[in-house]
Structure 1
């Protein structure tokens, strides 16, 4: 084994060991020195590793390799400079590719060697134990052994029982129990730790000088018949021949300057004088033995109260006057403040109130109460009211207040001008000016405007000043207060001047409640309610109306605080808007509820005009309908006159209505074609089919068919016109014929080829037709007027009429005919007349 010396530590390095360890183990060094540690690597456990593979850490942090020392193949060292940790741990590891392997660990402590104690002093606490204290330069920060020894005369003796103890941070006092009393002795203190040793000089102690008495019990009481005095007493013994008393007024603060001291010799009591009446005092006492250097501890404080006296001051009286009633009576609320303890000088047991008329000083009311307020009824004349407080010792001075008459109050005028209030540094200050230089006294009154109880009012008398600052806590934030200043002239309270203000303003607690009215096409009215005083939290300076469309930009309009509605203009028609109102104070604003409305499509003016025009139109239609009903025929002749046919002469109505009575023979009977001219459209085949069915119902051999019809569409013909024409088959004839164009004259009935002029019963009619067609041939040109007049046809259902057979035909008529250019016969479409032969 080879011994190696390093700075601050001596260690041993092993040539070859079978296990690994750190040395020195758990070293204690002086703080700030250099430390060297060594770690051995066991060859049997790690045969392929050497000292260069060892890694060092300090409190988990890796130490730089430049601080490593390679002692030999299996021992590695590390140097730590300026070690300042109070406690630390150092570990060594062997390096491996995946994870390092822990080898060993050591704990390190640092501190200082002890220094010699100085200024040793001891106190004998009543002969039972001794407390010694001392000083030295610095703490050791490591565990140090303390030992105190005593020397009586020239011999060292075990004066204390518990004379040895340990301390880490440096002990500066210790309490020892003595074994035997010695009038004088000498004590010495020794200290030792791993870094060094120290001891003090032997200090001589005299028992009489170091004796300290214990606390002395004290009593405090009144002296019967003596005002403003208290007696303090305590137990007396031979050792307590000198004492001092400490007392203080409980109404004053608890600082050391508030104490008063009195020293007493060879006594066991003391009288305290010049105290306040009916005031509590705290009293304590301490004593010292003659020849000792130490006073005893202060005794526990005892409380004493001086006797009561007559109140030294009258009550602070105030009143609130209500309006005079028509009956001449009025209600007066009286208030007064409770006297302070230094003013009441006792316990106030009650108050006496008296009311006198000012004119004859007669007593009109008297009351006793323990409250600080009372309400009395007085008449319209002036009164003088007095209030007296009383305690066990007597009555206070009389507080007098004059109540003016109703007539005086109505004629009074304010004498205070320029009243201002401002809040600075968490306090309210009121300033005013007066118009009367003889006024030097004022009463400042303030109360919450929402407080209806008159007894909650506060007031203060101000003399020889026109400015007053309220004490802290007199006002609450966000509340509105009414502040009034009453001038006092020759003990008479005159008319006040008032102002309303906030001590501190904030944003309103709630926003205005809004609603929408009178919504129009481009306008709408927003109305809102005034915010309650308790929720305004300040003076409302303005209202701002915000409104916005869906996806649009918000628009705001600000109005004066006196307005409670606003008319929004320039709005878009038939658009939904969302609006709200924000109330603002100097501290900020609070928005109210949202209201949604949709503007109208039309304005009120447009709706009125439309209704007026519609009403006028309906009125005109009613007038026209009335005229139509009254003058139908006249109007019909004016607007729709009867236009005669341009080609045919007028026919006699008697001839048209004359029945055909002449029968025909059965064998020569010919089925007449009955055609009714109706109003139909060009392609209306339905009514043509109905006509064919009507014609098909006629019997050829047995009877003649007569088709009766009525022209209901045009109203131009009043009688039925019949056309009788010989035809082989009415049904086949109409099926073979095409509906003629009403704009062009077409042949309606064509002469059948099979019949001869001799055989046909209608030969005469045909000759007449030819003659007529010849006469009018030149006049059958197309007429535009006829085209317009004959535009539609109307076919009516025909009925088969049975006509009695007759042998002879009395009369035969033929319709007027018109011949076309090719010689074929035609009949005018709107003038075909079917008659029965």
Structure 2
């Protein structure tokens, strides 16, 4: 709080007392903006003004020191009196800008009193390595440039000055402009010693270098010679150089350096220095290659070697003249023996000479072929412009000579011996090694003296043929670098041949890579065979272009959907592998990796499912089942064959065809005068209402043979079905009363009760429903059995009283025995067996047929093959023979043994006619 006339105002870095127009600081720091040596001690004092003490109620004990807004520890404070406070720093390395003096005013508000900027640095070091050089700019201008080492960085503004003087004469200092370690003096005087030194100064001190005393002529760097020219000389190995010097010989005598190189080469060659150590303006360079382009450059310096070499002059080129080739072209051959055994196809090839070997332009090659077996025959000569020649020659040994010719002359001959066979010792242990971006090939020499070696190589690729490249090497070496364009990641087939004076050794080959890489792709695996617990995997080798290196191994990875992956390592020569111990009926995923020395690459995934059953398991199940099935079928067939009659009866019984019945053509009650024709319809449809079967006794047992008694067996077999049958067809009632059947008698009874049956039909005309029927009797000729369903249902309702007399009458007249069938529907059979007191009489059975069944029977039934036999029996009975009780005594057939059939009958018009 202050009055309007006096108040404190806080502004950055200062605390002021304002009174009217007077502005007065409340304190200051001593020293003011000091420059301090790095690492030294430093003490600062904050002094408060007396005018602010009482007014602001502030004291030195309230002062707070800060470095860049960071409070200095109070241990470094010291209160000198009530107005002065000091702070001490033992190491200025931690001191930063600004350093401020602050105070806590009323209300504990921190106010800034004063602040200073502190500069920390190092004093300059003594400059070192002072050196000077005089550069020739022109024939009269020689400025001197001096350089030195300024020393460590001082963190302060340091100024350097180059000072020099001649004898007792001083010159203005040279002040560097751009850098602190170089300065150029524009005017110097030759042949006078000069003193040169460097002075460095900053806020913390000064330093001077050691003085340098020298004559400027001894440190001159002259300009290089100019106007250099190159001319060819008389000899093909000499070129003549000439130039101009740009410094006066009166000022300085010079010596020279001459360098040269072949065009396209980066290596320089130099003329011996002693040959150019005297002042001159021309020189002839000797020992050059003929017909070769060279590049030349020249430089100079003071003759005594004191001073500096000039820069190299501009480059000039020159070409030497031609000379005859220095050597013959390297020659090799490829022999093709596949065409015809007695002759060879020899492809000769040679390399073009290098420029330093050709010594000019090769115009042609001369090839001479001489047979070693016939030295007297003239050789064959060929002149070609190319570097190959194909010849067809007989098998044998030949000497081939190749000469290269230019306009100057011919080269020495190159000789190649083509032997009949490679019988000489080969090299051993051929090996390769990538080195320095080249492919080195080494071998072990044979024990014999080798004239030279031929190294063949070609790029192995699937997309192109192996184009052979080759080179010759002297016989005293056992290793060399291939000189062709060898590419990385490519496979090369390298072959080494030793050549002797009288033949050659067989070639030894090896495959090599300049640099290997991972395969371009992985193998594609497939299954060849899959079993229950194993799977045979197969794959193809990667092509040479895909390998990118030597395949060292294969690894097969396989796993189930939820299982861990299993790895198997396979030899690289294999193309098939069997996985074992697999789970049955399980889906597996398999992939394969191929590895080179640089790593591996995986192929695509392949899935397969193992089988549920192993080999032979299905057969072990199927074969017994099939055999059991076949056995059951066989037994069933045999059973059916033995029971074929029973099966036929129940499954497909013989059903009578009413349309073939002749019942409509016969009736015993109609006079013969009717004379119905078989083609005429005697009775209208539906007029037959009742059919009866009459049983007749046999009185004389001797009158029947054993065969004649067979029909009687049927009667006893029908014991259960012969009683109480009533017609169920058309709703007609039975016309006869029930009688006891023969089969009802006891087993002890004699055969006098045995009776035979004859089938009769009672035909009622116009008796349908409410009409009054007219009965007409006709005899049925049907040989087919009646339907079983109708007959069985009516067995217990058969009547018999009146029908007995009819049967006896019928037997006496015709001697026919009848037969009933329980399988015949729509009929009701009635049987009667007479007692022993009745004598020769036999019970009768009557079958009645409804009107509807009579209609069906009117259609006519077909005859049976048994009609003839039954006819004989009937004829015998008409002669008045009867069957007595003694006939069947002890021989009466049982009910079950009596066959179920109907005796065949013949229908006659107008009466009963025996068959």
What TM-score range do you get, normalising by the shorter chain? 0.5 to 0.7
The yes-or-no answer on 1:363 pairing with 2:372 is no
Bigger relative CO (Cα 8 Å, ≥ 6 apart) = 2
Q: 1:198 and 1:558 mapped to 2: Cα distance?
A: 77
Aligned partners of 2:232 and 2:318 also within 8 Å: no
Give the Å deviation of 1:368.
0.4
* Residue deviations 1:439-458 (CA, integer Å, cap 9, x gap): 55433333333385554423
Aligned partners of 1:121 and 1:133 also within 8 Å: yes
Aligned partners of 1:347 and 1:391 also within 8 Å: yes
Within a 5 Å distance, the mapping from 1:306-705 to structure 2 comes to 307=320, 308-326=322-340, 330-344=344-358, 346-349=359-362, 351-358=364-371, 359=374, 360-363=377-380, 365-369=382-386, 373-382=387-396, 383-391=398-406, 393-404=408-419, 408-409=420-421, 412-413=422-423, 415-416=425-426, 418-421=428-431, 423=433, 428-432=440-444, 434=446, 437=448, 439=450, 441-450=452-461, 452-453=464-465, 455-464=467-476, 467-470=478-481, 478-501=489-512, 507-585=518-596, 589-613=600-624, 616=627, 633-634=644-645, 636=647, 649=719
Q: 1:122 and 1:608 mapped to 2: Cα distance?
A: 107
The yes-or-no answer on 1:27 pairing with 2:18 is no
Q: 1:664 and 1:147 mapped to 2: Cα distance?
A: 168
The yes-or-no answer on 1:176 pairing with 2:188 is no
Aligned partners of 2:425 and 2:448 also within 8 Å: no
The yes-or-no answer on 1:247 pairing with 2:255 is no
Which segments of 5 or more consecutive residues in structure 2 lack a partner in the other structure?
A: 1-15, 18-22, 652-713, 738-768, 774-784, 800-829, 836-848, 855-915
Q: Aligned pair count?
A: 668
The yes-or-no answer on 1:222 pairing with 2:292 is no
Aligned partners of 1:540 and 1:561 also within 8 Å: yes
Q: 1:201 and 1:482 mapped to 2: Cα distance?
A: 70
- TM-score (ref. length: structure 2): 0.59
Give the 3 Å change call, closer, same or farther, for CA 414–47 of structure 1 in structure 2.
farther
Aligned partners of 1:139 and 1:170 also within 8 Å: no
Give the Å deviation of 1:488.
1.7
Q: 1:662 and 1:286 mapped to 2: Cα distance?
A: 162
Which secondary structure state, in structure 1, belongs to the residue aligned with residue 324 of structure 2? coil
Give the Å deviation of 1:221.
1.0
Aligned partners of 1:279 and 1:342 also within 8 Å: no
Q: 1:564 and 1:621 mapped to 2: Cα distance?
A: 51
Give the Å deviation of 1:104.
2.7
Which secondary structure state, in structure 2, belongs to the residue aligned with residue 36 of structure 1? strand
Aligned partners of 1:227 and 1:306 also within 8 Å: no
Query: Which residue does 2:99 correspond to in 1?
Result: 91
* Residue deviations 1:201-227 (CA, integer Å, cap 9, x gap): 998876766766433315141243134
Which secondary structure state, in structure 2, belongs to the residue aligned with residue 397 of structure 1? coil
Which secondary structure state, in structure 1, belongs to the residue aligned with residue 228 of structure 2? strand
* Residue deviations 1:747-779 (CA, integer Å, cap 9, x gap): xxxxxxxxxxxxxxxxxx9xx99x99xxxxxxx
Aligned partners of 1:444 and 1:462 also within 8 Å: no
Aligned partners of 2:552 and 2:597 also within 8 Å: yes
Q: 1:520 and 1:201 mapped to 2: Cα distance?
A: 97
Query: Which residue does 2:310 correspond to in 1?
Result: 297
Q: 1:629 and 1:115 mapped to 2: Cα distance?
A: 136
Within a 5 Å distance, the mapping from 1:33-72 to structure 2 comes to 33-39=40-46, 50=60, 52-57=62-67, 63-72=72-81
* Residue deviations 1:486-539 (CA, integer Å, cap 9, x gap): 232325334323344556665543222111243333333222112212323444
- Pick the aligned partner of 2:297 from 267, 278, 283: 283
Aligned partners of 1:445 and 1:458 also within 8 Å: yes
Q: 2:402 and 2:724 mapped to 1: Cα distance?
A: 133
Give the Å deviation of 1:723.
2.0
Q: 1:510 and 1:484 mapped to 2: Cα distance?
A: 29
Rg larger in structure: 2
Aligned partners of 2:344 and 2:395 also within 8 Å: no
The yes-or-no answer on 1:81 pairing with 2:96 is no
Give the Å deviation of 1:575.
1.6
Which secondary structure state, in structure 2, belongs to the residue aligned with residue 395 of structure 1? coil
Aligned partners of 2:64 and 2:71 also within 8 Å: no
Give the 3 Å change call, closer, same or farther, for CA 632–547 of structure 1 in structure 2.
same
Aligned partners of 1:117 and 1:199 also within 8 Å: no
Give the 3 Å change call, closer, same or farther, for CA 356–191 of structure 1 in structure 2.
closer
Which secondary structure state, in structure 1, belongs to the residue aligned with residue 394 of structure 2? coil
Query: Which residue does 2:283 correspond to in 1?
Result: 270
Q: 2:731 and 2:175 mapped to 1: Cα distance?
A: 171
Which secondary structure state, in structure 2, belongs to the residue aligned with residue 607 of structure 1? helix
Which segments of 5 or more consecutive residues in structure 1 lack a partner in the other structure?
A: 1-13, 671-699, 705-710, 726-764, 773-797, 804-837
Give the Å deviation of 1:300.
1.9
Give the Å deviation of 1:586.
6.0
Query: Which residue does 2:764 correspond to in 1?
Result: none
Aligned partners of 1:29 and 1:109 also within 8 Å: yes
Q: 2:272 and 2:47 mapped to 1: Cα distance?
A: 73
Q: 1:228 and 1:110 mapped to 2: Cα distance?
A: 68
Q: 1:415 and 1:261 mapped to 2: Cα distance?
A: 52
- TM-score (ref. length: structure 1): 0.64
Q: 2:731 and 2:150 mapped to 1: Cα distance?
A: 171
Q: 2:731 and 2:323 mapped to 1: Cα distance?
A: 156
Q: 2:590 and 2:60 mapped to 1: Cα distance?
A: 87
The yes-or-no answer on 1:723 pairing with 2:797 is yes
Give the Å deviation of 1:150.
7.0
Aligned partners of 1:481 and 1:502 also within 8 Å: yes
Q: 1:168 and 1:480 mapped to 2: Cα distance?
A: 60
Aligned partners of 2:336 and 2:346 also within 8 Å: yes
Within a 5 Å distance, the mapping from 1:772-811 to structure 2 comes to none
Stretch of structure 1 that moved more, 655-664 or 421-430: 655-664
Give the 3 Å change call, closer, same or farther, for CA 228–255 of structure 1 in structure 2.
closer
Q: 2:279 and 2:725 mapped to 1: Cα distance?
A: 176
